[in-house]
């Protein structure tokens, strides 16, 4: 079978500015909150990607009306809120491989009730959802597995919510807690609902995004550290009128790392020091590696300060952006260790195994563990053909291996299946080429 591929020539220097696409995490949360709210919402700069297309199609199948308006400066999506009552009581929904879509939507449909089936690509049927379903069913919903227990596909029927407290594991995916928080107001019609987190909560910055957006839609959440959350009764999501989607901080990581590796300055626009996304903390990790970082309200800039310093750090708070650090480690002055990244194993692919395999192809010595990866850079990076595992972040990360052409002029890195970047950043390779000098 022939794969489509893209060949990236070696590049000695990068500089320029990149306007980021909208954040996937923010886009899909805003879409669902807009649909559930009272009133009409205008969403400015919604990400156009596979994952948001999945959510938009699902909302339309559920009877939620939305239109897209093209303007001189971008797009505005107009969503008519249904105030928590879906027009269509049955639907068959294809969720692709979009975790940010299937998890909150499963919770919303389970709480609202009806006759719904949710399924996706084969990899989606290997991504766990059991902790979320267990929490929902314990509260009185009726969600059943039609394939392997603990995984999609799912069949949702009409249940009856009776619980006042729910508990959910926090150590597999923060999306389970996000899903429960987003639907808690629908459950708290007559009495308060409390959600307890069992175990250590991972990816806390993603929960911060969720809480920030829930509050933007007019619902108050009381927080007891990261252990429990309470939603008082009688609250309804209200349209904020117009809401802007920030640029994607995870996507910013590739361009900032490029500036760090191959000169710079490279500036990303659409995300800055006031961002609600935890992945802006990626810039601090680059600073630890010796990179010069400057920030404004709506931009971040990186430039090289010589050879990168090896890093040994806990990346539990920014698992997606941490993948970029694993590739940047190829350019460091020693062995780098990324710790506390067990969640990589249940993403679009098993990212620890995939990252180890592909880093070895370019000459790195790699040690992988259940929740860590150690990368020792090679003296010279070897050109290779990189497999991407239908994982957008693998493709974007490994584009960086084409940088620093001084060591190996004329050699080419090949990236298989480059179209997988459509999940979050369809124009990625064009944007990457634009900063290559």
Look over the chain and give the mean of its residue pLDDT values, rounded to a whole number: 95
- Cβ neighbors of 338 (< 8 A, separation 6 or more) are 311, 313, 315, 322, 325, 326, 329, 372, 373, 374, 375
Rounded to an integer, what distance in angstroms lies between the CA atom of residue 333 and that of residue 3? 35
Q: What is the pLDDT of residue 299?
A: 97
Give just the sign of the alpha carbon dihedral 115, 87, 125, 350: negative
Q: What is the pLDDT of residue 409?
A: 54
* 9/102 same-domain check: no
Tokens linked to 280: 């802006």
Q: Catalytic: which of 320, 387, 391, 404? A: 320
* 70/195 same-domain check: yes
Number of domains making up the chain: 2
* 274/143 same-domain check: no
Domain of 43, in residue numbers: 24-244
Give just the sign of the alpha carbon dihedral 428, 93, 241, 273: negative
Count CB atoms within 10 A of the CB of residue 3: 12
- Cβ neighbors of 288 (< 8 A, separation 6 or more) are 309, 311, 313
At residue 23, φ and ψ (nearest 5 deg) are -65, 130
Residue with tokens 């970047």: 421
* 320/269 same-domain check: yes
Tell which residue, 390, 207, 396, has the closest CA to residue 316.
207
* 109/56 same-domain check: yes
Rounded to an integer, what distance in angstroms lies between the CA atom of residue 250 and that of residue 166? 31
- Over the stretch 305-345, which tens digit does the pLDDT of each residue have? 999 999 999 999 999 999 999 999 999 999 999 999 999 99
Reduce the DSSP state of residue 6 to 3 states and report it.
Answer: strand
* 130/76 same-domain check: yes
* Domain closes at, from 194, 226, 244: 244
* 355/273 same-domain check: yes
Give the pLDDT of the chain (437 residues) as one tens digit per residue: 346 999 999 999 999 999 999 999 999 999 999 999 999 999 999 999 999 999 999 999 999 999 999 999 889 999 999 999 999 999 999 999 999 999 999 999 999 999 999 999 999 999 999 999 999 999 999 999 999 999 999 999 999 999 999 999 999 899 999 999 999 999 999 999 999 999 999 999 999 999 999 999 999 999 999 999 999 999 999 999 999 999 999 999 999 999 999 999 999 999 999 899 989 999 999 999 999 999 999 999 999 999 999 999 999 999 999 999 999 999 999 999 999 999 999 888 999 999 999 999 999 999 999 999 999 999 999 999 999 999 999 999 999 999 985 555 557 899 999 999 999 999 999 999 999 98
* 142/61 same-domain check: yes
Q: What is the pLDDT of residue 405?
A: 58
* 307/418 same-domain check: yes
C-alpha to C-alpha distances, 338 to 327, 328, 344, nearest whole angstrom: 11, 12, 11
Q: What is the pLDDT of residue 346?
A: 84
What secondary structure does DSSP assign to 123-172, as a single string? GGGGS--HHHHHHHHHTT-EEEESSSTTSS-EEEE------SEEEEE-SS
Q: What is the pLDDT of residue 1?
A: 38
Tokens linked to 105: 């939507």
* 322/362 same-domain check: yes
* Domain closes at, from 210, 244, 278: 244
Q: What is the pTM of this model?
A: 0.90
Q: What is the pLDDT of residue 73?
A: 87
Catalytic residue at 279? Answer: no
Reduce the DSSP state of residue 178 to 3 states and report it.
Answer: helix
Domain CATH for 387: 3.65.10.10
* Domain closes at, from 220, 244, 268: 244
- Cβ neighbors of 45 (< 8 A, separation 6 or more) are 22, 74, 75, 244, 245, 270
Q: What is the pLDDT of residue 3?
A: 61
Alpha helices per DSSP H over 37-83: 50-61
Q: What is the pLDDT of residue 410?
A: 59
């Amino acid at each position: 079978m022939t794969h489509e591929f893209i060949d990236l020539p070696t590049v000695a220097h990068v500089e320029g500015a990149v306007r980021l696409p909208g954040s996937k995490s923010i886009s899909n949360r805003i879409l669902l909150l807009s649909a559930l709210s009272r009133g009409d919402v205008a969403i400015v700069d919604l990400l156009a990607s596979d994952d948001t297309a999945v959510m938009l199609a699902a909302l339309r199948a559920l009877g939620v009306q939305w239109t897209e308006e093209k303007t001189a400066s971008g797009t505005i999506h107009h969503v008519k809120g249904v105030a928590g009552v879906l027009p269509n009581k049955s639907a068959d929904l294809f969720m692709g491989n979009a975790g940010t879509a299937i998890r909150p939507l499963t919770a919303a449909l389970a709480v609202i009730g009806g006759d719904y089936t949710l399924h996706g690509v084969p990899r989606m049927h290997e991504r766990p959802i059991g902790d979320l379903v267990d929490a929902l069913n314990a509260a009185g919903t009726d969600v059943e597995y039609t394939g392997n227990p603990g995984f999609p596909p799912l069949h949702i029927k009409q249940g009856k919510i009776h619980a006042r407290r729910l508990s959910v594991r926090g150590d597999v995916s923060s999306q389970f807690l996000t899903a429960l928080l987003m639907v808690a107001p629908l459950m708290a019609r007559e009495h308060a609902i409390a959600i307890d987190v069992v175990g250590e909560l991972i990816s806390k910055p993603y929960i911060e995004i969720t809480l920030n957006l829930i509050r933007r839609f007019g619902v108050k959440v009381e927080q007891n550290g990261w252990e429990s959350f309470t939603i008082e009764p009688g609250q309804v999501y209200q349209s904020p009128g117009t809401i802007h989607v920030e640029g994607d901080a995870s996507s910013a990581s590739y361009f900032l790392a490029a500036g760090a590796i191959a000169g710079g300055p490279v500036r990303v626009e659409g995300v800055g020091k006031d961002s609600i996304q935890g992945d802006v903390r990626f810039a601090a990790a680059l600073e630890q590696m010796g990179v010069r970082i400057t920030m404004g309200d709506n931009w971040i800039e990186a430039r090289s300060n010589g050879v990168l310093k090896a890093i040994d750090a806990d990346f539990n708070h920014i698992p997606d952006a941490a993948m970029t650090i694993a590739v940047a480690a190829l350019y460091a002055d020693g062995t780098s260790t990324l710790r506390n990244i067990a969640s990589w194993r249940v993403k679009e692919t098993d990212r620890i195994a995939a990252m180890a395999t592909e880093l070895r192809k370019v000459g790195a010595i790699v040690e992988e563990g259940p929740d860590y990866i150690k990368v020792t850079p090679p003296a010279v990076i070897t050109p290779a053909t990189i497999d991407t595992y239908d994982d957008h972040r693998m493709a974007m990360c490994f584009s960086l291996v084409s940088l620093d052409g001084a060591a190996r002029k004329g050699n080419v890195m090949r990236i298989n299946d480059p179209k997988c970047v459509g999940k979050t950043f369809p124009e990625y390779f064009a944007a990457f080429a634009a900063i290559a000098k």
